[in-house]
Amino acid sequence: MKPGSLPGAAARSEGQSGIDSERIFVGKPALYQEILEDGRVQCGLCPHRCLLKPGQVSRCLSRENKGGVLFVRNYAKVTSMALDPIEKKPLASFHPGTKILSVGTFGCNLACDFCQNWRISQEEAPWRELSPEHLQRLAVDMRKDGNTGVAYTYNEPTIWYEYVMDSAKLIHEAGLQNVLVTNGYILENPLKALLPFIDAMNIDLKAITPDFYPYLCKGTLEPVLETIRNCHGQCHVELTTLLIPGLNDSERDIVTLSEWIAAISPDIPLHLSRHHPDYKMREPAPISVQRLRHLASLASRSLREVHAGNV
Ligand code: SF4
């Protein structure tokens, strides 16, 4: 999904003045880090398990080794915010017809050549500061506009871990709901600590073939499959596959993918979506709507709910 704009506040980049009065975040240590004796630190948030030297910024842009300790770089930094229909997440079977306050930061732990949101996922985009308490107040105020909670989306929210955790607790305290729109590339322990505060997820399953993730996304498939297994039954889960002609859209790909999902549960909704050429992948052109519908009907042989997206 393309991110929305920043209503009610001018975006700014790190180093600019005009600080939120609730600013309490400078120097927030990262969760899930192991400090080593030689000054390096190992991050334990996602399967990359990065080893960072002093002064080094992580590949996901969310962490930095400052003097032998890993600090968070994106806490409370919001690059994109909008009140979206829940169907845009996409979630088709979780409170349909409602709206959800959607927020994102910058950075990602994958680097997909076809990224549809690369300006915030692969660069430190302009941001405004928004404390978890401020986010909670906004979400509550927007109830009058039909808001049901907060969706952490637009870029990868699991690398916004500390902010999502703090915010999600406050959102639950306010009687609202939390939605995570994620690539699923997170280790089991941090995932399980976050799951009690998450009500629904849309997880990207970019392809079912093992070489797709290393070749196009700088990651691996198995941790994503593990996340899907771990989340099923813990909260409402829907999956999305962005179809790219010649790379993940063969009939065999779709049958294998849908049968893998059905083995967990045939009730998990699947969104098959058309990509548009972007970032490092300016071709091929999107698949035709006709082919998308054909592939959706193939997936429907295994799954009860298959949605064709970006038509
Ligand atoms: S979350 Fe970021 S720093 Fe941590 S292991 Fe993953 S990519 Fe590396």
Work out the angle at residue 60's Cα, subtended by the Cα atoms of residues 277 and 166, and round it to the nearest 5 degrees: 115
Domain boundaries, the chain: 33-72, 77-309
Distance 272 CA to ligand 1 centre (A): 28
Cβ count near 85 (within 10 Å): 15
CATH 3.20.20.70 correct for 77-309: yes
Ligand 1 atom with the shortest distance to the CA of 52: 3
218-260, pLDDT tens digit by residue? 999 999 999 999 999 999 999 999 999 999 999 999 999 999 9
Q: Residues with Cβ within 6 A of ligand 1?
A: 43, 45-46, 48-50, 58-60, 62-63, 109, 159
Residues contacting residue 85 through CB under 8 Å, at least 6 positions apart: 97, 98, 99, 100
Give the start-end residues of each E strand in the chain.
33-35, 41-43, 51-52, 63-66, 69-72, 77-78, 80-85, 99-104, 128-129, 147-152, 177-182, 200-204, 236-243, 270-274, 306-309
Query: By the 8 A CB rule, do 184 and 230 touch?
Result: no
Kindly tell me if the per-residue pLDDT of 141 is higher than 50. Answer: yes
Backbone angles phi, psi at 10, to 5 degrees: -80, 135
| Dihedral in degrees, nearest 10, Cα atoms 6, 63, 16, 134 | 40
Tokens of 78: 């919001």
Distance 158 CA to ligand 1 centre (A): 10
**Which DSSP state fits 116?**
T
pLDDT above 70 covers a percentage of the chain that reads 92
Give the start-end residues of each E strand in 127-269.
128-129, 147-152, 177-182, 200-204, 236-243
- What's the pLDDT at 26? 56
pLDDT band at 1 (very low <50, low <70, confident <90, very high): very low
pLDDT band at 277 (very low <50, low <70, confident <90, very high): confident
- What's the pLDDT at 132? 98
Query: By the 8 A CB rule, do 4 and 102 touch?
Result: yes
Kindly tell me if the per-residue pLDDT of 19 is higher than 60. Answer: no
Q: How far apart are CA 133 and CA 22, in angstroms?
A: 9
Which residue minimizes the CA distance to atom 6 of ligand 1? Answer: 46
Mean pLDDT on 43-55: 98
pLDDT above 90 covers a percentage of the chain that reads 85
**Which DSSP state fits 215?**
I
Distance 140 CA to ligand 1 centre (A): 32
Of the residues 35, 46, 105, which should be mutated to test ligand 1's pocket, given the most ligand atoms within 8 Å of the CB?
46
Which one has a higher pLDDT value, 40 or 24?
40
Distance 27 CA to ligand 1 centre (A): 18
Of the residues 32, 41, 45, which should be mutated to test ligand 1's pocket, given the most ligand atoms within 8 Å of the CB?
45
Integer CA distances (angstroms), 143 to 78, 136, 167, in order: 20, 11, 17
Place of tokens 């009730």: 267
Of the residues 62, 156, 213, which should be mutated to test ligand 1's pocket, given the most ligand atoms within 8 Å of the CB?
62
Q: What pTM, to 2 d.p., does this model score?
A: 0.91
Residues contacting residue 176 through CB under 8 Å, at least 6 positions apart: 139, 140, 143, 147, 148, 149, 150
Which residue minimizes the CA distance to atom 2 of ligand 1? Answer: 60
